Amino acid sequence: MNLLVEHALPATRPAPLDTPGWQFSSCCINLDQSDPGEEAWGLLTRLALGLVFSMDTMMMSLFLYSDWARAAIFGGGLAIPPAIVLLFKLNMLIGSTLAMIALVPPILVNSWQGLRQRRISTDTLIALGSLSGYLASLYGIARGGDVYFDTATTILVFVTAGHYLELRARARGSEALERLLARAPDTACVRRGGEEVEAPASAVAFGEEVIVRPGGTLPVDGQVIDGSGSVNEASITGEAEPAFKEAGTHVYSGTVNLDGCLVVRATGVGENRAVARLVRLLRDALTHRAPVQRLADRVSAFFVPLTVLVSALAFVYWSHQAGMGHGLIVALAVLLIACPCALGVATPLAIWAGMGRAAEGGALIRSAEALEKLAGVKAVFFDKTGTLTKGTLKLVEVIGNLEAVIERAASLEAASEHSLGRAVVAYAREHNIAAGSVRDFRALPGLGVRGNVDGGSSRATRHASLDTAIGSSRFIQRLGWTLDESLAEEKARLESNGRTVVCVGWDGQVRGLLGFEEEIRPEANEAVRELSASGFTVEALTGDDPAAGGALARGLGIAVHAGLLPEDKQRWIADARSRLGPTAMVGDGLNDAPALARADVGIALGCGVDVTRETADVSLIGSDLRQVNWTISLARQTYRTIRQNLWWAFIYNIVGIGLALAGVLHPIVSALAMVVSNLFVVGNSLRLAHGPTHDLPWSDTSVLSS
């Protein structure tokens, strides 16, 4: 009963073996249909009919072969008249035939399709077992011998019940995708012909205007053309803080408009919506087979034909020892107990559950192979800017007359788009320092800005307009302005502490210094501690100068390698792989592409809706660094589950075959044991998917939480 979840997806999958000729698979049921829920209901209907028809057969068998039943019916006599025996057998024939019609067609179809492709599956084993019992029973009626209709039908009932339970398990895995798609509403308020009309969301055309009122969920991706308000984008970007939207900003389907009325021009409809792209990425990931899964296929390829051979030999041996009837029973027991169904379902269902659970936590894993590599990671390397830090600079220290320096600096930087300038303006607002007006503003890229700043409200700058400049030491040197000894010492101190230093001067002389530093993400320390406690080697790579790297190292307590070019980062990753083992690289997925590609696993942080970054094996939709350790731990748990499932499958098959060959197991018991074995594997795998979402630190931002 192999549950190959990939078959449910619209993609071509390579054969289990790469060699030509006959191939063997552990797949027991065709999973090519796209909706496992509908398939499960169809199978449940067949199971109900088969169960009803087989009940009559089992009751007749009870009266034929049970001494106490015969005694109860015939008044203590153990002999049943031959006519009654024949009538019972014919009744069993009718019931078992109807049960076979209800239950065996899907198994026969799958078996025949496999045989046409020169591929033997465990469907073939089940078909051989049930049909052998049925045909042997027809022979028994004709020759006056024993019949095995009850065995044939009970086998099919148990196997079909197992198929149904597996399909329901896979359907529950698919529900995560459905919940994601369901975030976008079914209807939309669209402006057509000057009027507002309600239309199906699927019918909204590119370029149409959609109106979203407070509390409403956006049905399409688009650009705001009118209105403003806050939008909760946690389901898409993973950010808990609502994002302010106004004309010109982009919004995404499935997000919630918290306040304000937005008019949105549709730019992403249907399969081009953000949620549809996320679902497509996850589905594509599930079509790729992991190396451990291919190993299970190869084991099954050896096991299936071996099972047929052992069953045939058992039939010959026991027929010679105890008669053909007993030989048939032993052969059927071997066929059923040795079906490598648990082996087949052990890997794909665990991978499905693990990747679905990862998606619920905001981690989209590109393939099953990437999940397997992630489980083996020994070292984690982080990029600095935009990953361990927020990627923005903060003004933390001012040298000189604070009011005068900040007033002139903020006056000039108010017209600048540079990140340093924004930090200066923010600092001025925090300290209620008003900026003055600027004339003759000039920006010199890579150096600084210069202009005439009019006198402001402070006593230090109340006099007339002065030529003011802000920039690097190189800019000040180019202007020929002086830097006195005390400021030079302060500049050296700031730089030794890892600060980015900017000079502020006017009237031909440097009057003050501004010290900036990058803000470390608030969860960075906790994330690093968790990874270190889990046994990982944790280091950081940055292109910044050694002073900035040293400041980060002191702040997080990890080794930081600074002053690295992109090719240097690649060399560090290659060296780490040889020294430490499999390595993961965490970056923002943009300027870290070479290092992400060189690592065994590339993890892109804060992808939001941009989840198609080719160099990233794992895309973290949110920006919480704690997702890294959680995702790696989940991958490890997934592969522990796979190993548990495989060990169970091997032990079960070895013990079961031994008991069946010894003639201890009846075929019905073998079929029941096969189902119980599969249920153990299914239940063990589904534990991965049932972890509580609320226990995640970023639980309010989980992508698929309901």
Which residues form the catalytic set? 383
Any residues with CB less than 8 A from the CB of 59 and at least 6 apart, and which? Answer: none
Residue pointed to by tokens 């079909």: 160
* Residue (of 591, 589, 586) closest to 627 by Cα position: 586
CA distances for 471 relative to 446, 461, 502, angstroms? 9, 20, 5
Spatial separation of the C-alpha atoms in residues 254 and 236, rounded to whole Å: 7
CA distances for 228 relative to 65, 185, 222, 244, 579, angstroms? 80, 21, 14, 7, 53
Spatial separation of the C-alpha atoms in residues 27 and 8, rounded to whole Å: 13
Which residues are 257's β-sheet partners?
231
Q: How far apart are the first and last CA of the chain?
A: 30
Buried b / exposed e across 236-260, counting CB within 10 Å, b at 16+? bbbbeebbebeeeeebbbbbbbeeb
Spatial separation of the C-alpha atoms in residues 509 and 222, rounded to whole Å: 51
Spatial separation of the C-alpha atoms in residues 242 and 232, rounded to whole Å: 5
Spatial separation of the C-alpha atoms in residues 382 and 584, rounded to whole Å: 9
Any residues with CB less than 8 A from the CB of 38 and at least 6 apart, and which? Answer: none
Query: Per-residue DSSP letters for 145-191?
Result: ----HHHHHHHHHHHHHHHHHHHHHHHHHHHHHHHHHTTS-SEEEEE
**Tally of CA atoms within 13 A in the half-sphere of 139 that contains its CB:** 10
Query: Per-residue DSSP letters for 583-608?
Result: EEEEE-SSTTHHHHHHSSEEEE---T
Bridge pairing between strands 195-200 and 187-192: antiparallel
* Residue (of 382, 163, 184) closest to 271 by Cα position: 184
332 Cα distance to chain centroid: 41
648 Cα distance to chain centroid: 25
Contact predicate 595/564, CB 8 Å = no
Query: Rounded to 5, what percent of the chain is helix, strand, coil?
Result: 55, 15, 30
